[in-house]
Amino acid sequence: MTKEWFHHFHKDEHPFVNKAWEWIEKAEHRHEVRLTDFLDPRQAYVVSTLVNRTTQVKLHLSGGSDEAERKRAWIAPDYLHPAETDFSMCVLAVDAGEEGRALDHGDYMGAVLGLGLKRDKIGDIHVQESGCHYVIAQEVGDYLNLHLRQVHRIHVHTELLPLSELKPTTSKLEEMSFTVASLRLDALVGDVFKMSRAKALQPIKAGHCKVNWKEEPDPSTLLETGDLVSLKGYGRFKVMETEGMTKKGRIRIKIGRYC
C-alpha cells in the first residue's frame, strides 16, 4: 500500500490498517481466507474501505443479529461465500437470578475482561432482565463457560448455546437536555458524566475516550449531531440533536446516555 493512502486514517490506526491490508493481499494473491476477531464499527469501516480497492476480494460481516454493532469479518477471494457457521460464533447465556436485575452492560463487560480475556473475542452483550447473552468467538466458549461464575459479586450460572438461540436486545437511551457554552468534547463529557472539565481532561488526553469508535485525545474536538462518545469506566452517550441557542448565547442540546 502506498504511504499517501495512510493519510485517510489517523496515525494511531496505521498498525491496524497494515494488518488489514495484509489479510486482503493474502486473499487476493494466495487465495487465503481470514476470519477476524470482533471488529468495532470503525474497524469494520477501515477493512471495508481497503477491500473496495480490489475487485478480487470480498468482505462479509456478521455479529449474530441484524443490529449487531461488533462483528467478525470473513475476508476471502470473491469466488468463495461463507456459511453462517464459518463465522465461528456462539452464545454464552448467563443467568444471574433475581439479583441480576441490578446488573448492567458494564458489569457484564468487566466480568469477562476480569478473566483476562481480550475484548476482541467478545461481540455484542445483550443484557436481559436477570442475565445476559454474550455473543462470543467459539474458540473461547469453553473457557468462559468454565470460569465465569461471578458478575459484580453476584454468583451466576452459564450455558453455551448455538447462535440461533440468541435473544437480542436493544440498548436503552436515557435522554438528557441541558445547555452548554460549546460542543467541545471535554465540556460534554463533563456534563454527561457529572465531572468538572478539568477532571474530564485527564482520561481524554490519556486516550481513554473514543468518538465514533475512534480514539480522540483532543479535548477541544467539536462534536456533531449523531456522534457517539465513549469514556472508559463511565459508559457512552450519543449527541441526539442541538436545539438552538438561548438568549444568553448557550447551545441547547439533547443527549442520549446508554443505560
**What architecture (CATH level 2) is domain 3-83?**
2-Layer Sandwich (3.30)
Residue 106: per-residue pLDDT? 85
Q: Splitting the chain (259 residues) into consecutive groups of 10 residues, what average pLDDT does each group show?
A: 64 89 96 97 94 95 94 97 96 96 90 93 95 97 97 96 94 88 94 92 94 92 94 91 89 91
The burial of 29, by beta-carbon neighbours within 10 Å (0-12 exposed, 13-18 middle, 19 or more buried), is given as exposed
Residue 6: per-residue pLDDT? 65
CATH class of 173-258: alpha beta
Q: What separation in angstroms does the CA of 235 have from each of 102, 199, 202, 210, 238? A: 16, 16, 16, 11, 11
Please say whether the beta carbons of 134 and 92 come within 8 A. yes
Going by C-alpha positions, the residue among 7, 5, 10, 3 that lies closest to residue 212 is: 10
User: What pTM did the predictor assign?
Assistant: 0.82
Task: Enumerate the domain spans of the chain.
Answer: 3-83, 89-165, 173-258
Question: How many helices and strands in the chain, by DSSP H and E?
Answer: 6, 15
Integer Cα distance of 235 and 247 in angstroms = 32
One of 3.20.20.150, 3.30.70.330, 3.40.1410.10, 3.90.25.10 is the CATH number of 89-165, namely 3.30.70.330
Residue 136: per-residue pLDDT? 98
Residue 5: per-residue pLDDT? 65
Residue 99: per-residue pLDDT? 93
Integer Cα distance of 117 and 119 in angstroms = 7
